[in-house]
Structure 1
């Protein structure tokens, strides 16, 4: 993916959010929302295929990439409003939304609180709730006390990819490692707090947008059971399991893209 200087908007609380467009302006817009510890480049390998059908809007969540890193904790409500304010600033009334992991939480929030801004939803490798809160408190404290991101980066990679990709020194894995090591700890800790405090198990039933839930068969972060529960809670949602760990867009790109594009382009 070619280098491109990001553009920025400022949120209501004064945080700069970096974003970029890819694809023709006459195509429907697809908003992509990322996992913790990544930036908008987590979708680079999918951009060529997705831009055949959509104008992509990618952004760095607060605390990540080129966006500002305010002191945490963050809330899911604030992360969701960041996305809405991005759409407002760009004059976009209604878009498709694809979110993975934390991005999937944000996408759920949009379906619950701003359904008029969403056409179709894809919720990938995510959950409505990831408790108990105590596990996040411990992780946040350990991260903020650590000397750097090294140990946390390796933990993320083990949770994201199968052992065969890690052992093969996969170029894609190395790119994600570099991004993790460049991510400020405050951004990760603040985002973990948003996950810690999020519980959408009841309210997600209010989602009425057409929804596809994608889960990874081997995902140890947001399990296939989490995905199945999410799909069961959303009226009419479809459910797809891929033979993947957590970053199913990277590990199983062909199957991932086929599921996403088929769902988003089919006639109502």
Structure 2
């Protein structure tokens, strides 16, 4: 499946693919102005991408990115992913040769405790997104962050196709990318947020410790969607990482 996407920036600049967190769309990157050709896309059932037609895995979602790269005739790209987008990036870097440099933001290689996912998925199946929206969004941002921005992302979350969200949530719950980490041999930057309770900094440390070529950064005063709370800080890190040939 070719997901909904936008490709913007100088034609002669390297392409940087931006992968979103579960429940978010290309709006996640609206504050970013990086000196690359930016390829933003929506996961299945998010934004303007078609909904899922059945169960999916991280590999399924990664295959969508490969289809997109083939469609745009892009042989190799830089890739930066947040949370679910980072999981997709890890799979791509471990199993394909399409990623030349990688950035992983507020993500994890696995979830040892799946009970929270089971509870969320059960509520979604029975009652839809509204009953879990506040809980989800409260983990995305620190309490003092802009109420207007929080409200915007909550509204965007409510637009996500619920069966697609459930399928993607099951993919996150069930994935275990730990064996794949040693297969990732491209330069990688791993970024965590000090107040991220969804994927705490120890998740990033585990990933960085397993990768043969990686740097680890921990951003303060930010939660799970650190790219929204601290876009300038993360832009500097990404520019330094991807700007090196």
Give 1:188 deviation, angstroms.
1.3
Structure 1: segments with no counterpart, 5+ residues: 1-10
TM superposition score normalised by structure 1: 0.88
Aligned to 1:236: 213
Q: Secondary structure at the match of 1:139?
A: helix
Write the deviation string for residues 1-46 of structure 1: whole angstroms up to 9, x where unpaired.
xxxxxxxxxx2xxxx5211111111110000000011111110111
Determine if contact 1:125/1:216 at 8 Å carries over to the other structure: yes
Partners of 1:204 and 1:41 in 2: CA distance: 29
Partners of 1:38 and 1:45 in 2: CA distance: 14
Q: CA RMSD in A?
A: 1.3
Aligned to 1:154: 134
Partners of 2:133 and 2:11 in 1: CA distance: 36
Alignment partner of 2:190 out of 213, 217, 220 = 213
Determine if contact 1:71/1:186 at 8 Å carries over to the other structure: no
Residue 123 of structure 2 is aligned to residue 142 of structure 1 = yes
Give 1:72 deviation, angstroms.
4.0
Q: Secondary structure at the match of 1:45?
A: coil
Write the deviation string for residues 184-218 of structure 1: whole angstroms up to 9, x where unpaired.
21121111111111101122111000000000111
Residue 172 of structure 2 is aligned to residue 195 of structure 1 = yes
Aligned to 1:4: none
Alignment partner of 2:152 out of 155, 164, 175 = 175
Q: Secondary structure at the match of 1:163?
A: coil
Determine if contact 2:139/2:198 at 8 Å carries over to the other structure: yes
Partners of 2:205 and 2:126 in 1: CA distance: 36
Give 1:70 deviation, angstroms.
1.8
Determine if contact 2:82/2:106 at 8 Å carries over to the other structure: yes
Determine if contact 1:122/1:213 at 8 Å carries over to the other structure: yes
Residue 38 of structure 2 is aligned to residue 56 of structure 1 = yes
Structure 2: segments with no counterpart, 5+ residues: none
Determine if contact 2:124/2:162 at 8 Å carries over to the other structure: yes
Q: Secondary structure at the match of 1:164?
A: coil
Residue 12 of structure 2 is aligned to residue 26 of structure 1 = yes
Determine if contact 1:32/1:98 at 8 Å carries over to the other structure: yes
- 5 Å-filtered alignment, 1:1-268, equals 11=1, 17-46=3-32, 49-50=33-34, 53-114=35-96, 116-146=97-127, 148-165=128-145, 168-169=146-147, 171-243=148-220, 244-267=222-245
Aligned to 1:7: none
Q: Name whichever of 224-233 and 65-74 sits farther off.
A: 65-74
Give 1:104 deviation, angstroms.
0.4
Determine if contact 1:63/1:190 at 8 Å carries over to the other structure: no
Determine if contact 2:84/2:172 at 8 Å carries over to the other structure: yes
Give 1:113 deviation, angstroms.
0.6
